Amino acid sequence: MTGNLDEVQIGEIVKFKELFEALEKRKKAILKALEEQDVLTAELSQKVTNSKDLIALEDLYLPFKKKRKTKAETARLQGLEPLAKMIMSQRVNDLEFTTSKYTSNQVETIEKALEGARFIIAEWINERTDIRNIIRRELERHATISSKIIKSKVDDEKAQKFKDYFDLSESLSRIPSHRLLAILRAESEGFIRVKIEIETERILERIENRIIRSQNECTEQIELAIKDAFKRLLYPSLSNEILSLAKEKADEDAITVFSKNLKQLLLGAPLGEKRILAIDPGFRSGCKVVCLNEQGELEHNENIYPHAPQNKSIEAIKKISSLVDAYKIEAIAIGNGTASRETEQLVQKIQFKHTIDVFVVSEAGASIYSASKIARDEFPNYDVTVRGSVSIGRRLQDPLAELVKIDAKSIGVGQYQHDVDQTKLKKSLDTTVESCVNTIGVNINTASESLLSYVSGIGPKLAENIVNYRNENGSFTSRNEIKKVPRLGGKAYEQAAGFLRIKNGKNPLDDSGVHPESYNLVDKIAKDNNKKVAEFIGNSALIKEIQLKNYITATIGLPTLEDIVKELEKPGLDPREKAKVFSFDKNIKTISDLRLGQLLPGIVNNITNFGCFVDVGIKESGLIHVSNLSDTFVKDVNAIVTLQQQIIVKVLEVDVVRKRIQLALVK
């Protein structure tokens, strides 16, 4: 029905629709205000109606906007508007004599009268759309953004992370989004002052050419009014506007990066339904150990103290070994926080009875989850340390199912996520999570409320109702049964059914992406070929014989048929890779162990527009700048590396004081 548009393209259409609706709403409000002021002419009404963007619309409304008491308004109340009109006409022969007629008790001198008239002229100039657009174009092409350190902050330790921006000047149109956001953050934290600068002489000359038509006594007054209008009204307003637009674009870039990273993280490789021993490592407080069954349910928890100051490593080794045997553990997950490397090395020493793969798992956001209502509801009788360890283990089993429980902003895979428009960020991240959940599909009989809430058409309340129904009535045996869930109506079912999977159900299509509305069609295809539906599932040879063109109707097109065939071939297939074991260089424990030219294994743990960050097994992540990702120009970092990718890097530079590491991609 959409001509085979994908969800990203439809999402863009939705964005344009929302922009259009916001524009139309503002037009109605402005037309109503103009009507109430009794200034709405047919020409003005047409201009407002035909406006294509908010900036042009606001320019049209500017002369009629109710203003706070301005210098121009004061001058009008002093009766100086006729004088301003005469000066603007540029036909006054004896300006001093003409101006003397406008002096009064309030305006005592000719100079005061001229000044008041200039204030009015400056306001007229400020309200001219053509002049505002001249300045906009100049700012777009030639504005620079400059930053200077506030002198009293030079020695401030916190300011040092913004050292690169203590004295910077760069073209606003060319500044990378990440640098602009960094500069604005430094300004908001009070370390630097930021200015938008431009060469003013050319702009003033262009404005004068628009207004001044003759050379007489009025010319000097108009020139003064132009300078005043530019300095006091036009430049402050339009430089803020251009900076705001640049910030908006930078926000969009940052949000796009965050969304791409989040998608890669959510679609990270799952280990699957395995019995996991998970360890949240620590020094003084010890390591929290939990044992999980194949479904991620907690079976055991306790503390071990292998590291300083207790140093009970032998007891810890014995304990881990006995737990692995007792709970038939198949893999070990270790959080990548404090004491992670030391804990990993301890586990690697243990001689298990059978092969146990050891994985280091990102802890990002685990502490947020462990203190959340979701975690308290799941584990009301356990403290935050147990919940955090469970989260680490479950992330190894299925990153998507566990990470959806955490506010996406807390996962830490973006750039300047706290500085961008929070409403837009949340919307984009929620859309990304929903897309990932629906791409994989959800087992309705095992999924948590959090996971179900992201299924298209479900939401938090229906997710709760599904879980309650499941608890009261047992597992769903067919998609049709989903309709019995309280308050889950026809529309919600229509949206959600294709994404909800039922394993080993009555109908084999219930564990596929084929929507129930297409079941009759699949039955017809099977009947026409003298087969049962189950015989088509996974049978590529049989599926290739289907003549799709025979089943095209007014409501079922070829794209739908092709989607159905793909699902029959690989029903409910998880497109994600399986988790792979990875080992860091055992000799690298701190930043001081790094040496120039070293080749190290690493894992990509964040991607930005200016490069990617890599975990090489120490507290500080190293940066591969975009220029060190390839010998050729890199337009998109995501085209070279992906989140959680295992790579080899070369150490280029180590700054121990600032804790910065520069790397290059080797392979």
Q: How many helices (H) and strands (E) does the chain have?
A: 26, 15
What proportion of the chain, given as a percentage, has pLDDT over 70? 100
Rounded to two decimals, what is the model's pTM? 0.84
Q: What number of other Cβ atoms are within 10 A of residue 20's Cβ?
A: 10
Span 171-179, average pLDDT: 93
pLDDT band at 171 (very low <50, low <70, confident <90, very high): very high
Contact (Cβ atoms closer than 8 angstroms) between residue 583 and residue 276? no
pLDDT band at 302 (very low <50, low <70, confident <90, very high): very high
Q: Is the pLDDT of residue 573 over 80?
A: no
Distances (CA, A) of 641 to 362, 644, 667: 18, 9, 10
Distances (CA, A) of 535 to 19, 542, 560: 49, 8, 21
Distance CA 517, CA 495 (A): 11
- Domains, the chain: 7-64 (1.10.10.650), 276-397 (3.30.420.140), 453-569 (1.10.150.310), 591-665 (2.40.50.140)
Contact (Cβ atoms closer than 8 angstroms) between residue 268 and residue 161? no
Span 44-67, average pLDDT: 93
- Helical ranges in 151-199 per DSSP H: 177-188
Q: Is the pLDDT of residue 522 over 90?
A: yes
Distance CA 289, CA 610 (A): 38
Task: Give the DSSP H or E segment for 323.
Answer: helix 313-326
Tell me which residue of 226, 200, 232 sits closest to 211, measured CA to CA: 226
Q: Is the pLDDT of residue 414 over 80?
A: no
Q: What are the two backbone dihedrals, phi and then psi, of residue 342, each rounded to the nearest 5 degrees?
A: -65, -40
Distance CA 228, CA 125 (A): 10
Q: Is the pLDDT of residue 270 over 90?
A: yes
Contact (Cβ atoms closer than 8 angstroms) between residue 561 and residue 551? yes
Q: Average model confidence (pLDDT) for the chain?
A: 92
Tell me which residue of 546, 550, 551, 586 sits closest to 566, measured CA to CA: 546
Span 21-41, average pLDDT: 95
pLDDT band at 586 (very low <50, low <70, confident <90, very high): confident
Q: What number of other Cβ atoms are within 10 A of residue 462's Cβ?
A: 21
pLDDT band at 67 (very low <50, low <70, confident <90, very high): confident
pLDDT band at 410 (very low <50, low <70, confident <90, very high): confident
Tell me which residue of 209, 226, 238, 235 sits closest to 124, measured CA to CA: 226
Q: Structure tokens of 190?
A: 């009070």
Contact (Cβ atoms closer than 8 angstroms) between residue 432 and residue 262? yes
pLDDT of residue 609: 86
Distance CA 203, CA 493 (A): 60
pLDDT of residue 494: 95
Q: Is the pLDDT of residue 354 over 80?
A: yes
